[in-house]
Chain A
Amino acid sequence: GDSVTQMEGPVTLSEEAFLTINCTYTATGYPSLFWYVQYPGEGLQLLLKATKADDKGSNKGFEATYRKETTSFHLEKGSVQVSDSAVYFCALSGAQKVTFGIGTKLQVIP
């Protein structure tokens, strides 16, 4: 079945540091790929998505590229802020359902 493997956190970075959160997937067919963010005390919000190979999703300075050859969708941001502290979930949309990774907690310190 479909699966998403996500690097375990927590990840602690200083403000303005470069962020990479790794995500790889296993799926049949050609799934859409997503990154969701969950801020403390809130529900999940769609951060960005990509629907086909080589697509790059981007939002709020975050970006991720759909790499079919490596089955990856790594999340990156060039300069993180304290307000980016949250849990980030990688997900794929397969046959009629979405499969989530375990989530990576990011803590950005001033």
Chain B
Amino acid sequence: GAVVSQHPSWVICKSGTSVKIECRSLDFQATTMFWYRQFPKQSLMLMATSNEGSKATYEQGVEKDKFLINHASLTLSTLTVTSAHPEDSSFYICSAEDRGTDTQYFGPGTRLTVL
């Protein structure tokens, strides 16, 4: 089946620094990727939709200047959390859409801890 990878799987950073998370579709091309945030014991919250070669579409309430998304190729999207603060600590999950099957395939997630 389709595989989506994320790197890193976990990261700890100091408050005020920036962290970049990569999302790759390994065996299919994804013109659309999605970034989610998952809080403990809660569902996934869609943060933004990343389209290859164009600007990301952010959901209401998500700061686009804080969560920078770049979708530079058909297999790679990156999320950069800028000037991270402890409240940004969360589990970030990406997914890539395989249009041929109308299915999203999820990465394993990245656990971000901001000290």
Residues in A lying within 8 Å of B, measured CB to CB = 32, 34, 36, 42-46, 49, 51, 89, 93, 96-98, 100-103
Contact B102 A32 (CB under 8 A): yes
Cα(A15)–Cα(B88), bound, Å: 39
Q: Specify which chain A residues have a CB less than 8 angstroms from the CB of B44 in the assembled complex.
A: 44, 89, 100
CA distance A78 to B71 in the complex (A): 43
Indicate if the CB atoms of A98 and B106 lie closer than 8 Å. no
Are A46 and B103 CB-contacts (below 8 A) given A96-B49, A97-B34, A98-B34?
yes
- How many residues belonging to B are interface residues under a CB distance threshold of 8 Å? 18
Could you say which of B104, B107, B109 contacts A98, with CB atoms under 8 Å apart? B104
B54 within 8 A of A: no
Cβ contacts B20-34/A at 8 Å (1 or 0 each): 000000000000001
Query: A97 to chain B: which residues have CB within 8 Å?
Result: 34, 46, 49
Give every chain B residue within 8 A of A96 (Cβ-Cβ): 49
